[in-house]
Amino acid sequence: MSASKQPAQTPDAKHAIPSYLNADDLGPWGNYLKQVDRVAPYLGSLSRWLETLKRPKRILVVDCPIELDNGTVAHFEGYRVQHNTSRGPGKGGVRYHQEVTLSEVMALSAWMSVKNAAVNVPYGGAKGGIRVDPRTLSRGELERLTRRYTSEIGIIIGPNTDIPAPDVNTNEQIMAWMMDTYSMNQGQTATGVVTGKPISLGGSLGRKEATGRGVFVVATEAARRIGMEIEGARIAVQGFGNVGGIAAKLFQEAGARVIAVQDHTGTIHNSKGVDAVALLDHVAKTGGVGGFAGADPVQADEFWMIESDILIPAALENQITEKNAPKIRTKIVVEGANGPTTTAADDILNDKGILVIPDVIANAGGVTVSYFEWVQDFSSFFWTEDEINQRLERVMREAFAGVWQVASEQQVSVRTAAFIVACSRILQAREMRGLYP
């Protein structure tokens, strides 16, 4: 029987929720499933493969015991989820956070599949995480935990199979320990097993800034299409880490004003604009934006009511909800974070005429330069920062233009358009490869 004649799915498959999730509270995975459902009518004959996207290919849950500095043993739960590998090896970051759940890592891995396809880099989607607040660990404990986790997931990661990278609370030092641990276990140095490494270990110039730069490039493209100038635009940013901090700095360099910032330590406001560079310095010294002298402290809830031209959620999932979406006064939401907007909030923003540029395109700059890093590692030939930034900008602009065109043609949101482009690519690969056996 040819592939096109096979039944698309078993009769009960459509609503099947895996036994390992709480069907009453699916968490971020539930949000992702709703986004996928919205794309189904636009996939034509490929929709018969859609169930593929509703089931992660492979999930590994690991126990990571380490000896703490006080001599006791502590156990941490870790995950690595490979959502889809139809288009290439798994690719996606590793998150250290006390509230990481399997549902969250599943959703993040799925968004990686969609993102990688949306910008057309030859990867599938994966993600990892450890349930830990890394701020409670000493440097030695953090290293031991990272090494044990890497060793535990070492059976499914590798330069050709699944390539981790930094995410919330992980950085180039953690990538260096991961690369070293994997290499020690393999008996040879394998720089290509992770991206986001230090430059001295095969990292790429421009990688640290890449996600924030991509956010800026995509926001500029979106602004241009609705006739908004970046110069003088008012920017509000939630999350002032790698993504939010760099994006804010680039907006400031382009003449925009960063008027409100929120992170886990506080919310600050200055209608004349805060100095993003001084704020980055303050965060580097103190760990957060709270207490910054160049702005007024405000209540956390007020952040969403501050009028802006561009709002950039760049912290965690489910920040823009049915509760605060009605209060938001901005023209464009550019999702630096993964999954910051619930489906219900997305509809509210849409009804208010606010343009939402979704995570799967807006924050794809990081994985794009991760791809460049991986290519450079394989060829042992490294590019200049200018070359990297130019190539990044080209990939982001072209991907955005393609998605924008689909949104106009099909009269759908930019998110649904991005999902149409990406899911079509993934499911075409699925169909051409066929089912094994």
Ligand X SMILES: NC(=O)c1ccc[n+]([C@@H]2O[C@H](COP(=O)([O-])OP(=O)(O)OC[C@H]3O[C@@H](n4cnc5c(N)ncnc54)[C@H](O)[C@@H]3O)[C@@H](O)[C@H]2O)c1
In the complex, the residues that contact ligand X under the rule CB under 6 A are 166-169, 211, 238-244, 262-264, 288, 314-316, 336-338, 363, 366
Closest to ligand X by CB, 30 vs 244, is: 244
Q: In which region does residue 432 sit, left (phi positive, over 0), alpha (psi from -120 to 50) or beta (all else)? A: alpha
Which residue out of 127, 208, 249, 331 is catalytically annotated?
127
For residue 392, the minimal CB distance to ligand X (Å) is 12
For residue 358, the minimal CB distance to ligand X (Å) is 12
Find residue 266's DSSP bridge partners: 263
Which among 380, 336, 382, 375 is positioned nearest to 195, based on CA atoms? 375
Cis (ω within 30 of 0) for the bond into 437? yes
Q: Which residues 6+ apart lie within 8 Å of 220 measured at CB? A: 230, 254
Query: Residue with the closest Cβ to ligand X?
Result: 241
For residue 206, the minimal CB distance to ligand X (Å) is 12
Give the integer Cα–Cα distance in Å for 424 and 430: 10
Closest to ligand X by CB, 50 vs 222, is: 222
Find residue 75's DSSP bridge partners: 65
State the pairing for strand pair 58-67/73-84: antiparallel
For residue 290, the minimal CB distance to ligand X (Å) is 9
For residue 359, the minimal CB distance to ligand X (Å) is 7
Give the integer Cα–Cα distance in Å for 432 and 90: 19
131 contacts 99 by C-beta, under 8 angstroms: yes
Closest to ligand X by CB, 223 vs 248, is: 248
For residue 310, the minimal CB distance to ligand X (Å) is 16
285 marked ligand binding residue: no
383 C-beta neighbours (distance < 10 Å), count: 18
Give the integer Cα–Cα distance in Å for 434 and 437: 9
Closest to ligand X by CB, 154 vs 206, is: 206
36 contacts 419 by C-beta, under 8 angstroms: yes
User: Is residue 249 among the annotated active site residues?
Assistant: no
Closest to ligand X by CB, 49 vs 196, is: 196
For residue 208, the minimal CB distance to ligand X (Å) is 8
Closest to ligand X by CB, 288 vs 402, is: 288
211 marked ligand binding residue: yes
Q: In which region does residue 92 sit, left (phi positive, over 0), alpha (psi from -120 to 50) or beta (all else)? A: left
91 marked ligand binding residue: yes
Closest to ligand X by CB, 46 vs 361, is: 361
115 marked ligand binding residue: yes
The annotated binding site is made up of 91, 115, 211, 242, 370
The residues that are catalytic are: 127
- Binding-site residue numbers for NAD(+) are 211, 242
* Binding-site sequence positions for substrate: 91, 115, 370
